[in-house]
Structures are given as C-alpha cells and as structure tokens.
Amino acid sequence: MEILLNQKEGQLVEIMEFEGGSNFVSKLYKLGIKEGVKVFIKQKCRICPILLEVNGSTVAVGRGMAGKILVRKI
C-alpha cells in the first residue's frame, strides 16, 4: 500500500485504510471517503489541496490528510 499523497493526478485508487484517530476518520467518512471506495485523483499540485472524485462528487482533501490515507492503485 502507498499513501494518497504520493499518487499522481489522473490515477484511480482504492482506499485501503487510514493512519489517524476517530475524529480524522469521521471527517473522511463525511466526505464519502471510506475503506474500499474507489477514488479518482482529479487535481494535484504542490501547494493546494488534492481534488478527488468520490462517488460522483468532487471533494478537497488537505495534503496532511492525504498523507494519512493508504491506497492501492487500480
């Protein structure tokens, strides 16, 4: 598994697990980011949040959060 932060724009990944506490996981769940969900990386640049397409919606995830999300490339 790799961290979401290290993935490239335009990749499709599957969420595998999180490296954070219950508040962190709760925030992600509210965005629709859960284990087993497939996520498309729409936009990634050096200084801005990462834009993800999750279940047809676009959500922004900060770089710190993205560093705690473990994914598998599809």
Q: What is the pLDDT along the chain (74 residues), one digit of tens a residue?
A: 999 999 999 999 999 999 999 999 999 999 999 999 999 999 998 889 999 999 999 999 999 999 999 999 99
| Domain carrying residue 55 | 2-73
* Per-residue confidence (pLDDT) for residue 46, from 0 to 100: 86
Strands 50-54 and 69-73: unpaired
Burial 24-58 (b: 16+ CB within 10 A, else e): ebeebeeeebeeeeebebeebeeeebbbbebeeee
Instruction: Report how many domains make up the chain.
Output: 1
* CATH at 40: 2.30.30.90
Residue keyed to tokens 């599957």: 14
